């Protein structure tokens, strides 16, 4: 299959969706496959993961799946090794796994804080830990981590643990970018702004009074474009960073937010 990722093997974590429709991870898995990649998709939800696989294969793409807890070292090591066994390499590692808790330090429990950091940060540390040696062996590779504009500014409702975790993702990524720059490996972040995904209905609407329609209207009004972005916007940015077109791009924090962070208020 021709395309910008033709002949590449891409691990895409968080390739399912927490509700109906497209998540960032699902859209990215579909787009990578459309561009010729052999996609190795992982997610904690087997049914949602199977749905992603069926969409990719219905379009003629290639998608292998493995159910995995991204915060478990054993599970992450297992899916990386299976990908290597099946395809011999990992060219692209795309980390999409993430959850949100609404609240500040007073509202959040210690358990919530620890779980969110395990899912949002530890998962990316683990996947990088097990993929990087394989990329070093081959002298090339690309890592794309999904962060958030919450890592660099307040987004309209309190989400202290989420914002802190995404700031950690930024620094994890930039540290990897510099450490491995002379080894042919690139690492970058995509920072989505307000996106219309199943995740916002599952995790975020409590920050808007638990009224999903009001939440959508408020989030749309908050965007300079008058409309939230979609998972395809995140997938397209990820594709650029994963492709050879971005061969001299590493350590970047690519903001995809319709101009939101450029506005003063």
- Overall average pLDDT of the 8-34 stretch: 97
Q: Would residue 248 show up in a list of annotated catalytic residues for this protein?
A: no
Residue 199 predicted with pLDDT over 90: no
Query: What φ, ψ does residue 46 adopt, rounded to 5°?
Result: -65, -40
Between CA 208 and CA 219, with CA 213 as vertex, the angle to 5 degrees is: 55
Residue 136 predicted with pLDDT over 90: yes
Instruction: Select which of 32, 79, 130, 162 is catalytic.
Output: 162
Q: What is the CATH number of domain 9-258?
A: 3.40.50.720
Q: pLDDT tens, 60-74? A: 999 999 999 999 999
Residue 1 predicted with pLDDT over 70: no
Q: pLDDT tens, 153-198? A: 998 889 999 999 999 999 999 999 999 999 999 999 999 999 999 8
> Where do the structural domains in the chain lie, given as residue ranges?
9-258
Number of H helices, E strands in the chain: 9, 7
Closest CA to 89 of 16, 139, 18: 139
Report d(CA 144, CA 250) in Å as an integer. Answer: 10
């Amino acid at each position: 299959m021709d395309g910008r990722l033709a002949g590449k093997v891409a691990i895409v974590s968080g390739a399912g969706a927490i509700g109906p429709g497209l998540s960032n991870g699902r859209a990215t898995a579909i787009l990578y496959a459309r561009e010729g990649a052999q996609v190795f998709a992982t997610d904690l939800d087997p049914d949602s993961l199977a749905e992603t696989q069926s969409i990719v294969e219905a379009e003629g793409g290639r998608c292998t799946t493995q159910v995995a807890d991204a915060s478990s070292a054993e599970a992450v090591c297992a899916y990386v090794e299976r990908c290597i066994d099946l395809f011999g390499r990992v060219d692209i590692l795309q980390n999409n796994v993430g959850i949100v808790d609404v609240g500040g330090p007073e509202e959040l429990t210690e358990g919530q804080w620890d779980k969110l950091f395990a899912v949002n940060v530890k998962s990316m540390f683990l996947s990088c830990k097990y993929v990087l040696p394989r990329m070093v062996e081959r002298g090339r590779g690309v890592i794309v981590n999904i962060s958030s504009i919450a890592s660099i500014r307040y987004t309209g409702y309190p989400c202290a643990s989420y914002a802190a975790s995404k700031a950690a993702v930024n620094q994890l990524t930039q540290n990897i970018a510099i450490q491995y720059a002379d080894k042919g490996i690139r690492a970058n972040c995509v920072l989505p702004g307000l996106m219309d995904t199943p995740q916002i209905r599952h995790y975020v609407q409590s920050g808007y009074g638990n009224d999903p329609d009001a939440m959508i209207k408020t989030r749309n009004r908050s965007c300079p474009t008058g409309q939230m972005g979609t998972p395809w916007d995140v997938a397209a940015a990820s594709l650029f960073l994963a492709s050879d077109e971005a061969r001299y791009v590493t350590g970047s924090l690519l903001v995809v937010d319709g101009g939101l962070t450029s506005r003063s208020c």
